[in-house]
Structure 1
């Protein structure tokens, strides 16, 4: 799965959260001001990469995320583990636990989740 640029990811997050939208609706929800041509460029790239679909209704186009958030996250986590943790999910988790300075209660909750899952 190709990586998302920050702009592409912002569009995907909007589509994941709100479902199928017209470009103007995406533009309204975009986290910072974005000109229409830039947004349409992101949409065209995401369409070419197969991450979104487009359908026409009257004169309007509607865009919808095809790639699921969970699949994108899984791919990104794998890339991070490969690039920074020698491919080890265990090392990545250990780094996150240490970097976030989880409390004993949070660590016990993680253990509980691991034991039950």
Structure 2
């Protein structure tokens, strides 16, 4: 899976949060200033790669994320685990927790998730 660029991820974030949007609406919600031509190029790339779809409604085109947020997160997480820990999701989570300054509430939330999660069979480590 080719890595998505920061602008592509920003478009997907907006579409996941807001649903179908016209390019001007996407541009207004960008976390940084993006030129119209650049945004249209990003949108074209997302459609061509299958991460987004485009549908004409009246005179306007609306863009929608076709890749689910959960699926994209899972793929990116697996890629990070491969790169940083040789494929171990648990080790990646451990390293992230150790690297970040978590509040007591956040630590408690992680404990709760760990306790509530049903035990699953261990998967073999990918190489």
Q: Which TM-score applies when normalising by structure 1?
A: 0.89
Find the counterpart in structure 2 of residue 28 from structure 1.
28
Pair 1:85–1:62, CA change in 2 (3 A) = same
- Does structure 2 conserve the Cα–Cα contact (< 8 Å) formed by 1:15 and 1:21? yes
| 1-structure distance, mates of 2:32, 2:105 | 37
Q: Which consecutive aligned stretches of 4+ in structure 1 deviate over 6 angstroms post-superposition?
A: none
More relative contact order, 1 or 2 (CA 8 Å, 6+ apart) = 1
**CA distance, structure 2, for counterparts of residue 41 and residue 94 of structure 1:** 38
| Structure whose residues are more often helix by fraction | 1
Q: 1:47–1:54: 8 Å Cα contact kept in structure 2?
A: yes
Residues 2-48 of structure 1, C-alpha deviations (whole Å, 9 max, x = no match): 32100111111111111001111111111222111100000000001
Q: Provide the alpha-carbon RMSD of the alignment.
A: 1.7
- For structure 2, the residue ranges without an aligned partner over 5 or more in a row are 118-127
The total of aligned residue pairs comes to 117
Correspondence for 1:75? 75
- In the other structure, the counterpart of 1:48 is 48
Could you tell me which residue of structure 2 aligns to residue 4 of structure 1? 4
**Corresponding residue of 2:123:** none
In the TM superposition, what is the alpha-carbon distance from 1:86 to its structure 2 partner? 0.8
SS at match of 2:31: coil
TM-score w.r.t. structure 2 length? 0.83
- In the aligned structure 1, how far is the partner of 2:38 from the partner of 2:106? 42
Q: What is the match of residue 39 of structure 1?
A: 39
